[in-house]
């Protein structure tokens, strides 16, 4: 059955392909973002660490009448990420949007008691992946005068609660600094760089691991904020953070 939004034309803000990293797992934010853009006419490049996962998610979207292509890449490897960017641009055309949704959540506990390996792991999956992907796709984004959106966390904004989350918070704070650096460095190249900072997102893994009293943000709400940042309505918005909370 064709999805009712499947034939919707792509807004000018994402006339080229839309790359969504961290989109390989069913029920998670990445695939929700990919579906949201695809439903509005975008050709979505689904990037996951495991190619088989990307293929499964792309098949899901195609079964809904949407346009999606799968790509596997270890985004913590800069060489592999550069190859990914070259492949996507060659096969789909110069990208117009990059959504850095790859990442992960972990309770590290009090700093005094935390596993010393957790901070480097959190940094690698959230900040390093975003850095490598952004660097690799920037040449294409300059050509299309496109947009980059980073996924941070409401916990690292002023007043946010980071108790027991030091490793995760450090990584997400780094993502925000990366976003601001890109916004300042690429303004003259026509590339916009922004971020969303959601609270706890209603995903399968979060519902399973978090307290039953947790208040959640719907993945669709986060996706809507990201779409706005990539749209013509936000053509003069860069270096900004949209907090998305319950």
pTM of the predicted protein model = 0.92
* pLDDT above 70 (res 118): yes
The more confidently predicted of residues 91 and 15 is 91
* pLDDT above 80 (res 120): yes
| DSSP codes of every residue in 47-112 | EESSHHHHHHHHHHHHHTT-EEEEEE--TT-HHHHHHHHHHHHHHH-S-SEEEE----------GG
Nearest-10 crossing angle of helices 51-63, 29-38: 40
Can you tell me the mean pLDDT for 108-130?
88
* Backbone torsion region of residue 203, taken as left when φ is above 0, otherwise alpha when ψ lies between -120 and 50, otherwise beta: beta
The model's pLDDT over 141-190, given as tens digits with 9 standing for 90+, comes to: 999 999 999 999 998 999 888 888 888 889 999 999 999 999 999 999 99
* pLDDT above 80 (res 122): yes
The model's pLDDT over 19-45, given as tens digits with 9 standing for 90+, comes to: 999 999 998 899 999 999 999 999 999
Is residue 204 within 8 A of residue 27, CB to CB? The reply is yes
> Distances in Å between the alpha carbon of 221 and those of 41, 179, 232?
19, 21, 19
Q: Which two tokens stand for residue 204?
A: 């399968």
Is residue 222 within 8 A of residue 32, CB to CB? The reply is yes
Share of the chain above pLDDT 70, in %: 95
* Of 201, 213, 216, 199, residue with least CA distance to 157: 199
Q: Which two tokens stand for residue 78?
A: 């800069």
Q: Which two tokens stand for residue 162?
A: 């980071």
Measured distance CA(100)–CA(113) in Å, rounded: 30
| DSSP codes of every residue in 22-38 | S--STTSHHHHHHHHHH
pLDDT at 47: 98
- In the sheet that 241-244 helps form, which strands lie side by side, from edge to edge? 67-72, 43-48, 18-21, 97-100, 147-151, 192-198, 241-244
pLDDT at 27: 86
- Residue 44 — φ and ψ, nearest 5°? -100, 130
Measured distance CA(133)–CA(83) in Å, rounded: 10
Measured distance CA(117)–CA(121) in Å, rounded: 6
Is residue 175 within 8 A of residue 152, CB to CB? The reply is yes
- Residue 147 — φ and ψ, nearest 5°? -130, 145
Q: Which residues partner with 195 through β-bridges?
A: 150, 241
């Amino acid at each position: 059955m064709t999805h009712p939004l499947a034939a919707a034309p792509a807004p000018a803000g994402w006339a080229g392909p839309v790359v969504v990293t961290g989109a390989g797992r069913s029920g998670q934010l990445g695939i929700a973002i990919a579906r949201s853009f695809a439903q509005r006419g975008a050709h979505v490049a689904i990037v996951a660490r495991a190619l088989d996962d990307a293929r499964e998610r792309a098949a899901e979207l195609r079964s809904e009448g949407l346009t999606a292509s799968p790509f596997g890449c270890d985004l913590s490897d800069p060489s592999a990420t550069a190859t990914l960017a070259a492949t996507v641009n060659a096969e789909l055309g110069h990208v117009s949007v990059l959504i850095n949704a790859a990442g992960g959540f972990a309770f590290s506990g009090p700093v005094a008691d935390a596993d010393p390996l957790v901070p480097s792991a959190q940094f690698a999956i959230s900040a390093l992946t975003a850095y490598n992907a952004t660097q690799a796709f920037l040449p294409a984004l300059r050509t299309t005068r496109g947009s980059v959106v980073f996924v941070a966390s409401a916990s690292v904004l002023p007043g946010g609660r980071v108790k027991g989350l030091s490793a995760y918070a450090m990584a997400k704070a780094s993502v925000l600094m990366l976003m601001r650096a890109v916004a300042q460095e690429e303004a003259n190249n026509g590339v916009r760089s922004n971020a969303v900072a959601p609270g706890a997102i209603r995903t399968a893994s979060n519902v399973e691991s978090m307290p039953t009293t947790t208040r959640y943000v719907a993945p669709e709400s986060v996706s809507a904020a990201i779409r706005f940042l990539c749209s013509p309505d936000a053509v003069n918005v860069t270096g900004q953070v949209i907090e998305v909370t319950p």
